[in-house]
Amino acid sequence: GENVEQHPSTLSVQEGDSAVIKCTYSDSASNYFPWYKQELGKRPQLIIDIRSNVGEKKDQRIAVTLNKTAKHFSLHITETQPEDSAVYFCAARINNYGQNFVFGPGTRLSVLP
């Protein structure tokens, strides 16, 4: 089955710096890759996603890149702010009936003022 790895598990950056989180997946049939942000004690919320027919997608300070050949995708946050501090999860959708998703273990991002 699909396996999603995520690195690093924790990341600390200074406010204004960039942050990069990388995920790898094992199933070449996976075709949709979302990123979720979860603040302490709250529910995960989608921040950006990318489909397998696209190499890069950007939304203001957040971007995601996908390398299908290497089976990895990355989240890039520029000009980080303290409110970006949270746990970030990547996921991969298995291309089968029912939209089965597999999540990475998460990255705890701390933005230091």
Partner 1 sequence: NAGVTQTPKFQVLKTGQSMTLQCAQDMNHNSMYWYRQDPGMGLRLIYYSASEGTTDKGEVPNGYNVSRLNKREFSLRLESAAPSQTSVYFCASSLYSGSSYEQYFGPGTRLTVT
Report the SS3 class of residue 73: strand
Structure tokens at 89: 């999860």
The reply to whether 8 sits near partner 1 by the rule CB under 8 A is no
Q: For residues 22 and 78, which CB has a smaller minimum distance to partner 1 in the complex?
A: 22
Q: Whose CA is closest to 65, among 82, 84, 78, 83?
A: 78
The reply to whether 93 sits near partner 1 by the rule CB under 8 A is yes
The reply to whether 14 sits near partner 1 by the rule CB under 8 A is no
- At 71, give phi and psi (nearest 5°): 55, 55
Residue ranges that bind partner 1, judged by CB under 8 A = 1, 6, 9, 32, 34, 42-46, 49, 89, 91, 93, 97-106
